[in-house]
């Protein structure tokens, strides 16, 4: 028989910051290591009580609620480990903004925003290890694994809800820099091409332009050209999966070194010249501070490897 650690009965009082959250989501965040099916089982059985009453999984917590959580067995969970790319010094140096409500970090390429899919420690797990004094740290939005740049983290649940509304209602001005394959002749264009997402037979995610897809709009503006490359600024007006990458492919100028949507020959040439990652960088975020109302302007300079590659382009044959 395997012994697993067991919690005793605990009581938690809900404060303003946790009010509004569904009880099932609250338990999933509190009971790390407990299987999801077990959490729903103790809810169905009435073992979880709010103000001494049984509740349903979709019950939304209110400030002052008293939650009774029964003893539960915890699965053995590996503690996330910091790596070379998620080390303390590496992340400390990349924090570009912080106050009592939120922080922003210049995410390196090659690190996922959260663990999973073979990656035990992502950006959010590493930040929680880096800042054990922070009782609440949650991602406001996401960037792809190979995309670098601005990522916003909420330090309070109430702030997370407001920032989610900002992103949902297009109240955040997002700007990316991308290097496109080929000489893109237009100065500025609004790409409006619906995007569809589906799973392939092997479970991989496939994203492509399709008439029956969801609305997707990206403003692309040319910044500079070198040989067979064009540096552009991209401002997505919607937030679809891989939107900028798919739209760049759609206009016939995919992002350089994009292994999924890019051009193989272009990628190979760029790789030989020292570019070992997708050239897509979240360069800035502008939005109203959720508490003070002041405009927050966050800027992330290009990573050194991207800036170095651009510096070499003027000498390319």
Q: What's the pLDDT score for residue 311? A: 92
Buried b (16+ CB within 10 A) or exposed e, 28-67: eeebeebeeeebeebbeeeebebeeeebeeebebeeebeb
In a domain, 246, yes or no: yes
Q: What's the pLDDT score for residue 177? A: 98
Q: Domain check: are 178 and 149 in the same one?
A: no
Q: Domain check: are 125 and 178 in the same one?
A: no
Q: Which CATH number goes with the domain that contains 16?
A: 3.10.290.10
Q: What's the pLDDT score for residue 95? A: 95
In a domain, 105, yes or no: yes
**Residue range of the domain that includes 55:** 10-69
Beta sheet of 53-54, edge-to-edge order: 10-13, 66-69, 49-50, 53-54
In a domain, 203, yes or no: yes
pLDDT < 70 positions in the chain? 1-7, 32-33, 73-89, 116-120, 203, 315-317
155/139 Cα distance (integer angstroms)? 9
| Residue whose pair of structure tokens reads 């991989």 in the numeric block | 204
Q: What's the pLDDT score for residue 35? A: 81
Beta carbons of 106 and 96 less than 8 angstroms apart = yes
Q: Domain check: are 238 and 264 in the same one?
A: yes
240/215 Cα distance (integer angstroms)? 8
Q: Domain total for the chain?
A: 3
Q: What's the pLDDT score for residue 87? A: 56
Q: What's the pLDDT score for residue 8? A: 75
Q: Domain check: are 160 and 181 in the same one?
A: no
Beta carbons of 298 and 96 less than 8 angstroms apart = yes
Q: What's the pLDDT score for residue 317? A: 38
Q: Domain check: are 177 and 194 in the same one?
A: yes
Q: Domain check: are 237 and 276 in the same one?
A: yes
Q: Domain check: are 237 and 306 in the same one?
A: yes
Beta carbons of 289 and 295 less than 8 angstroms apart = yes
The catalytic residues are 144
pLDDT tens sequence across 74-111: 554 444 455 545 556 678 899 999 999 999 999 999 99
Q: Domain check: are 176 and 296 in the same one?
A: yes
Q: Domain check: are 217 and 103 in the same one?
A: no
Q: What's the pLDDT score for residue 75? A: 53
Q: Domain check: are 43 and 116 in the same one?
A: no
Q: What's the pLDDT score for residue 76? A: 44
Q: Which CATH number goes with the domain that contains 201?
A: 3.30.2350.10
């Amino acid at each position: 028989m395997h012994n697993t650690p067991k919690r005793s009965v605990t009581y938690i009082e809900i404060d303003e910051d946790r009010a509004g959250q569904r009880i099932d989501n609250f338990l999933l965040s509190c009971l790390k290591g407990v299987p999801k099916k077990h959490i729903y089982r103790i809810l169905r059985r009435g073992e979880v009580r709010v103000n001494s009453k049984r509740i349903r999984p979709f019950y939304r917590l209110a400030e002052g609620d008293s939650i009774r959580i029964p003893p539960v067995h915890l699965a053995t969970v590996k503690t996330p480990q910091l790596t070379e790319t998620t080390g303390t010094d590496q992340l400390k140096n990349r924090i570009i903004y912080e106050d009592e409500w939120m922080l922003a970090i210049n995410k390196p390429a090659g690190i996922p925003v959260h663990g999973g899919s073979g990656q035990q420690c992502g950006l959010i797990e590493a930040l929680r290890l880096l800042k054990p004094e922070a009782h609440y740290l949650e991602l406001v939005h996401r960037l792809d694994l190979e995309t670098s740049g601005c990522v916003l983290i909420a330090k309070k649940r109430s702030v997370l809800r407001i920032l989610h509304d900002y992103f949902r209602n297009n109240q955040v001005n997002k700007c990316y820099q991308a290097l496109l394959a080929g000489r893109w002749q237009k100065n500025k264009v609004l790409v409006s091409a619906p995007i569809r997402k589906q799973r392939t037979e092997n479970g991989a995610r496939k994203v492509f332009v399709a008439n029956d897809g969801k609305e997707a709009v990206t403003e692309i503006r040319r910044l500079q050209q070198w040989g067979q490359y064009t540096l552009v600024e991209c401002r997505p007006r919607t937030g679809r999966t891989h939107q900028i990458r798919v739209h760049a492919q759609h206009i016939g100028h995919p992002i350089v070194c994009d292994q999924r949507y890019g051009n193989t020959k272009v990628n190979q040439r760029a790789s030989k010249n020292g570019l070992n990652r997708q050239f897509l960088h979240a360069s800035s975020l502008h939005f109203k501070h959720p508490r003070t109302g002041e405009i927050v302007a966050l800027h992330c300079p290009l990573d050194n490897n991207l800036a170095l590659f651009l510096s070499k382009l003027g000498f390319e044959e």
